Structure 1
Amino acid sequence: MASDKQSVPRGPWGEVLGRAVLLCGAYCGLKALSSLFVFPPQENAAVWLPSGLTLAVFLRASRRRWPVYLATVFLTEYFLVLFYGDAWELALSWSLGNCLRTVVGAGLMRRWLNAPVTFSRPREVIALILAGGLLSPLPSATLGVGAVTLFTLPLSPAELWEGWLNWYLSDGLGALLVAPLLLTWSGERSLPRRPWERAELVGALVLLGLVAHVTFGMLSPWGILLSLPYACLPFILWSALRLGPRGAATATGVLGSIAVWHTALGRGPFGVLPATVSERVLSVQVFLSVASMSSLFLAAMARDRWRVERSQRVLAEAGAVFAASMEPRDTLPRVARLLVPELVSGFAVWLVDEQGRWVPAVCVGLTPEQEARLREDVRQLSEPSRRCVRPEGAAVLARIQHQGRVLGGMALVRLGFTHLPRLRAAAFAEDLAHHCALALENARLLADYQAAIHVRDEFITVAAHELRTPLTSLKLQMRSFGRLLQQPATAAPEAVRPRFHSMSRQVERLGRLVEGLLDVGRINTGRLYLERELLDLGELVHDVVEQLSGELERAGCEVSLVLQPCVRGLWDRTRLEQALNHLLGNAAKFGAGHPIELRVEQREDRAYLTVRDQGIGLAPEALERIFGRFERAVSSREYGGLGLGLFLTQRIVEAHEGHIRVTSQPGQGATFVLELPASPRSSSYVPGLAPSPWPTAPADSHPT
């Protein structure tokens, strides 16, 4: 870091004076460089480089500094003219003409554009052509040639016109070549930096320089060789399309320097033209003007198209961010990172809360004072969007609304800009506000849906509990009545016992339905707990089949068991019995009159329970759907049930850190396989395991 003694003077005046000194030095250097582009016997240069310098400085500087810079330009030109031995009248006229040229060019461009000039938009190039190239040289050329006629030697009308035209084109060409070069390299980049960009720029300029040197350095070109200047155009177009306005301005600057230098020495296609010196000067000036403006205009159009594509890409990415999450507090900061500083300098969103207050949701690149002013402006919006200019910069304000209901507002700000944003910016803001409104509405609908689900689950739980109390009493009464029927002293008609058993089965079925509803409520609220203990899976399967023997016999289903011994794990007995009850119940219901096979085995640290029936089977599209809550693969008119059995079974298995899968074909039955984590096997024989009273098949080591 430099010391205080080596730094520039502090304060605004010190900075202005320092820059005025730099302007004076640069003006002198460019005027000396312009003397290399003189076509003898003429005395004025073909390209007046200081005109581009002063135009660039005044376009970049604030208006309150213009008087200091104007005085600098005036005094520098005045004393330089005197230094070269010309009369003070000429010095005064030429200095005044240079100042008027700069004020006209910079003033008109600032008035038309009213924004930093980077030549990244076609309108900026058009403004440069009209103001800097066509209008601003009028006063300087008129005062310059007029002073020569008045104060040195009278000129004939032809000489006056020839001198005025050469002066006019010299000043205009200097503005077209130098101003874009200075403004594009000193301003912000219009494109993100790419890898190898500097190497590409240097390579393009070296190739252009070689081609231009060969083209314009030929001593006596003739015939088709006179059209060789067009060989430089591909390199200029490449620089414009690939490297933007900065590349276009640099390429035309290199081409102009080489072309004017060789032409002034009488070489190249323009230097050997069979014409007067003025015509040679005019030809090279027109060629360079067309090349410069064409490349700049092409680069601006390419950058404008790229800007539109970038806006569309950012809008699509913002839509994807909004769709990725239903929580606006999470998505809005991510959207802000897409916009700032890619498209805008500041971004803010306000949301209307339940009390009607406008609460900031995200604010990036803005001070609290700026955010407060913009929030008040957004609250007063009466249309979907509005373009405005505020002290902090140019802004687009947009309402966030859905079906006429205002949900909030947003502001997109470009700090430092003092002109109204384009209509395209307002359309972008409205599209972004529409995406935000949809995201907010989706979040509200999701919250309402979740609240409705919660209310439903609570209702199911409360209703199941309310049904459980009278059902428990009814079960007790049925058991007491059953014991009375079994006593020898009780004389009951023979028709009573079958009806009693039917009523008992229906009460048991109603009890299972109530327990299923309770389990659904527990699962939805996350209260399905497991009481694990060391169990033998084969023994558990044997017990469940024993409990369901009556139901299986009534369904006409013969059960075969293939139970591998000592398949143990830490499981919840009640929950696994419940899951197996659901699977056997479905097998008996959908495969009535057909056999059922149950298989238990262990491979490494996983236990497998397979339930295979030969019932109606399942369609392929129903294999995943049947595990949903209240989902059914067949019509409820043909087969009863609430569609909770497989849903509860899957949740119970997953609670045990296991998996369930099903394979089936219509008319060929279904096979359900439960995979559970098992304990390491310590013995192949389980003491006390009673032989199964059901038909069995030989043990197999692989589930089917």
Structure 2
Amino acid sequence: MHTFISGDNTMADMGRDRTEGPLGEVWWRALLLFWAFCGLKALSALFVFGLLESASVWLPGGLTLAVFLRASPRRWPVYLAAVFSAEFVGVLVHGNPWDMALLWGLGNCLRTVVGAGLMRRWLDGPVTFSRPRDVGALLLAGGLLSPLPSATLGVGAVALFGSAPLGLEAFWRGWLSWYLADGLGTVLFAPLLLTWGARRSVPWRPLEDVELVGTMLLLALVAHVSFGLPEPRGILMSLPYLCLPFVLWSALRLGPRGAATAAMVLGTIAVWHTAALRGPFGTMEATLPERVISVQLFLAVAGLSTLILAAVASDRRQVEREQRLLAEAGAVLAESLEPRETLPRVARLLAPEFVSGYAVWLADEDGRLVPAARLGLPEEAEGRLREELRRMSEACRRHLGPEGASVLARIQHHGRLLGGMALVREGHTHLARSRAMAFAEDLAHHCALALENARLLGQFQSAVHVRDEFITVAAHELRTPLTALKLQLQSLQRPLRQGASCESLLTRFQAVSRQVGRLGRLVEGLLDVGRLNTGRLPLEREPMELGELVHDVVERFSEELGRAGCEVRLSLQPHVTGLWDRTRLEEALTHLLSNALKFGAGRPIGLRVEQWGCTARLVVEDQGIGVSPEALERIFGRFERAVPSQEYGGLGLGLFLTRQIIEAHGGSIHATSQPGEGATFVLELPASSRATYMPRPSPESWPQAPTDSHPT
């Protein structure tokens, strides 16, 4: 991205593209353009050959093209008035009729509008001749097409209103001379103004000013010697070739600015000596018009060739710079896995040298795009671009808006949207080129990899934290029954030695058995987690009645329920049957009863079995500490707990395994609770068909089944 240097002390700045500003400033610039036009018109008179009435190089043509290329089209009418007035007044001052002045002024205006209009239409931004297409547009629009109306109207006015009539041959000779003069002035002078009035796309090298001045002085010296010989003969006619090394050096080393300066220096000296009938073109055996055309073509070819070479070299350096920027951006993104820290640093790499504006957004959990970095863009423009990106379906798109030409790119990984970015080039009037889109896609890919790596690192760190916490909790949980077993076994040694009664030994062995059972449940839970990691839980289905299963599990828990002081209230509807895995359902109910005992010790527990249509329900209600609403869904996750593990033991696997068991049967489980008011867990399973279909009511309307209802 090339932007223009500010300041009113340069001639090219007269046409600085400003869509806003006081009207007086525009008229002041128009007045400055008027006097600059008149001055260059007088300077062009130095390049008039003795027997011809027209200049061989028309410098005002290059001035007006440069000014109009940099000016907003809204200012063109004011500047056209200045150009027309300067030409009209100048023609009248030289004693020509007003109607000739009118046509000459109109021709100059048309030449400028055609050249500037076509170049602005074909190019996508400020013209700095750092791309071959800029030079091509200058040649086609400024050098070949725009002189057509000015040469036709100019020579036509001389033929119509001149003092002497023009024959057909004189008309075409005059037309060609005028046409070449306008084209040559545009090709030589417009690049000089545009390149010197533009900010460089790369930093200025140390001593580059010294190198530029030295090269131009050497070129001027060699050109003076080459074109200043009075009557060169033989090999001396080839002396102009000595200028080529300096011209090539200017193009390759000093870029478009050096190339334009070298072309202007070479053209000035060549035309000056040729007009004085010196050098290879001034002394050649040809008519004067042929000499003029020869030097014009030589300068046009030399100037355009130099500009093209400089543009190709500059474009190549720009590609290398883009690749270097991508590498630097990748290095910055890799330095830290915190996107909100690295993305602003990437923005500072790009703006304002490569792009005028940069914005990047990150997708939040709800899929909304949240601003992460913005540089060189107003908030309003950033909002428009974000809305445009939100509606995008493709990976990359060109966009043209009030902020300029921009490229919008989605930051995505395997089709998942992670964010988006916008690269804006202010002042560009056309959509960005494919190379700019490729750069944006590559940069978005770098950002996507960085975001994905940050996400994976976060998941890894979270998994490590969960693992460490699980190991700590598992060690504690396994240590508790092992310690109890050790104490029970030690206490058995003395009664055995003393011949204790069988009843006393039975009590102790029952305590040992409970601890062994607890260990077994812990190990089975861990094994089930391993099975879930490799696939669904294996089920061995068999016809069974749910109420009978609940009764059996409660009977096995009777001793633990008694020790916890929990009364169990059963409400079991008979004949609630289905094809289920008895062992797995017993495990699920065991987990729910264990939670009820742990969090509601000393308070009653309700168990209810019922069937509605083809759905069997098992409801477990406790009056314990309850669960906060935000934790109701989380408690069914792996290793998740609603309370700290230091207060209540457990691996955090019971409800996780319960959900997996129920879902493996094709059912579902959900919970309702409020802190301090207990919790209700509802298990729904596919049941066998019943004789009559019963509609599914809301949970508030569930009736209390009267059969098989008793406290334990």
Match of 1:276 in 2: 287
SS in 2 for 1:245: helix
Q: SS of 1:154's equivalent? A: coil
2:298 corresponds in structure 1 to: 287
Partner residue in 2 for 1:160 = 171
User: 415, 431, 446: which is aligned to 1:435?
Assistant: 446
Residue identity matched to 1:218: L
The answer to whether structure 1 residue 263 and structure 2 residue 274 are counterparts is yes
For residue 346 of structure 1, what is the aligned residue in structure 2?
Answer: 357
- Contact residue 191 and residue 244 of structure 1 kept, 8 A: no
CA deviation digits over 1:622-662, x for unaligned, max 9? xxxxxxxxxxxxxxxxxxxxxxxxxxxxxxxxxxxxxxxxx
Deviations 1:66-99 (A, max 9, x none): 1111111111111111111222232222112111
Q: Give the share of equivalent positions with the same residue, in percent.
A: 71
Seen in structure 2, the aligned counterparts of structure 1 residues 464 and 82 have a Cα distance that, compared at 3 Å, is: same
Aligned amino acid, residue 425 of structure 1 = A
Residue 341 of structure 2 corresponds to residue 330 of structure 1? yes
Matched, 1:85 2:123: no
Q: SS state of the match for residue 362, structure 1? A: strand
Residue 445 of structure 1 corresponds to which residue in structure 2?
A: 456
In the TM superposition, what is the alpha-carbon distance from 1:137 to its structure 2 partner? 0.9
SS of 2:204's equivalent? coil
CA contact (8 A) 1:190 1:303 kept: no
The correspondence of residues 41-80 of structure 1 with structure 2, limited to 5 A, is: 41-80=51-90
Rounded Cα–Cα distance in structure 2 between residues aligned with 1:130 and 1:285:
17
In the aligned structure 1, how far is the partner of 2:159 from the partner of 2:235? 42
Q: 2:134 aligned with 1:124, yes or no?
A: yes
Contact 2:103-2:157 at 8 Å conserved across structures: yes
User: Aligned pair in 2 of structure 1 residues 55, 412: CA closer, same or farther (>3 Å)?
Assistant: same
CA contact (8 A) 2:337 2:454 kept: yes
SS at match of 1:299: helix
Taking the aligned partners of 2:465 and 2:78, their CA distance within structure 1 comes to: 73
The SS at the match of 1:351 is strand
Candidates 96, 117, 125, aligned match of 1:107 = 117
Residues in 2 aligned to 1:11 and 1:343: alpha-carbon distance in whole angstroms:
27
Which of 204, 214, 218 pairs up with 2:229? 218
> How many Å separate the matches in 1 of 2:267 and 2:430?
34
Q: Give the superposition deviation at 1:465.
A: 2.5
1:292-691 map, 5 Å: 292-470=303-481
1:353–1:359 contact (8 Å) kept in structure 2: yes
Q: State whether structure 2 residue 233 is matched by structure 1 residue 237.
A: no
Residue 212 of structure 1 aligns with an amino acid whose one-letter code is: A
Letter in 1 for 2:450: A
- Which whole-Å CA distance do the structure 1 matches of 2:40 and 2:185 have between them? 10
What corresponds to 2:505 in structure 1?
none
Normalized against structure 2, the TM-score is what? 0.65
Q: Is the 8 A contact 1:398 1:411 kept in 2?
A: yes
C-alpha root-mean-square deviation of aligned residues, in Å? 2.4
User: For residue 446 of structure 2, what is the amino acid of its counterpart?
Assistant: H
Q: Which residue of 1 aligns with 2:47?
A: 37
Could you tell me how far apart the structure 2 residues matched to 1:484 and 1:206 are? 116
User: 2:252·2:310 contact (CA, 8 Å) conserved in 1?
Assistant: yes
Distance 2:331 2:198 in 1: 33
**Greater mean alpha carbon deviation, residues 383-392 or residues 460-469:** 460-469
Deviation at 1:462, TM superposition (A): 1.8
Contact persistence 2:201–2:354 (CA under 8 A): no
Contact 1:244 1:300 in 2 (8 A): yes
For 1:134, the aligned partner's letter is: L
Preserved contact between residue 155 and residue 171 of structure 2 (Cα < 8 Å): yes
Output the CA distance in 2 between the equivalents of 1:71 and 1:470: 100
TM-score (norm 1): 0.65
Q: Deviations over 1:331-389 (max 9, x none)?
A: 21121111112321111111111122221111111111111111111110011110010
What code does the residue aligned with 1:110 have?
Answer: R
Can you list the C-alpha shifts for 1:211-267, whole angstroms capped at 9, x where unaligned?
Answer: 111111111211111111111111111111111111111111111111100111111
- Aligned counterparts of 1:91 and 1:455: Cα–Cα separation in 2: 89
The correspondence for 1:174, drawn from 146, 165, 185, is 185
Output the amino acid matched with 2:333. F
* One-letter identity of the residue aligned with 1:122: P
Residue aligned with 2:108, SS? helix
- Aligned partners of 1:11, 1:289: CA distance in 2, in Å? 38
**Matched AA of 1:120:** S
2:157 counterpart of 1:147? yes
Range 296-305 or range 84-93, more displaced: 84-93
Point out where structure 2 has 5 or more consecutive residues left out of the alignment: 1-6, 8-13, 15-19, 499-712
Residue range with higher mean Cα deviation, 463-472 or 375-384: 463-472
Q: Separation in 1 of the partners of 2:319 and 2:260?
A: 23
Distance 1:11 1:377 in 2: 30
For residue 114 of structure 1, report the CA deviation from its aligned partner. Answer: 4.6
Question: Separation in 1 of the partners of 2:287 and 2:391?
Answer: 68
1:476 positional shift: 6.9
**1:371 is matched by which residue type in structure 2?**
E
- Letter aligned with residue 123 of structure 1: R
Bigger mean CA offset, 38-47 vs 184-193: 184-193
* Count of paired positions: 481
Per-residue CA deviation, residues 655-704 of structure 1 (Å, 9 max, x unaligned), is xxxxxxxxxxxxxxxxxxxxxxxxxxxxxxxxxxxxxxxxxxxxxxxxxx
Gaps of 5+ in 1: 3-7, 490-704
**In structure 2, distance between residues paired with 1:358 and 1:86:** 68
- Matched AA of 2:419: G
Q: Which whole-Å CA distance do the structure 2 matches of 1:318 and 1:29 have between them?
A: 49
CA-CA distance at 1:470 after TM superposition: 5.0
Distance 1:189 1:352 in 2: 36
Deviation by residue 1:182-203 (Cα, 9 ceiling, x = unmatched):
1111122233211111111111
In structure 2, distance between residues paired with 1:334 and 1:221: 62
Say which structure, 1 or 2, has more relative contact order (CA 8 Å, 6+ apart): 2
AA matched with 1:28: C
The one of 250, 259, 267 equivalent to 1:248 is 259
- In structure 2, what is the Cα distance between the partners aligned to 1:232 and 1:305? 25
- Equivalent in the alignment of 2:238: 227
Check conservation: 2:230, 2:279, Cα contact below 8 A. yes
Shift of 1:176: 0.5
3-state SS of 1:295 partner: helix
1:413 counterpart letter in structure 2: V
Letter in 1 for 2:106: L
Secondary structure, counterpart of 1:230 in structure 2:
helix
DSSP-derived class of the 1:386 partner: strand
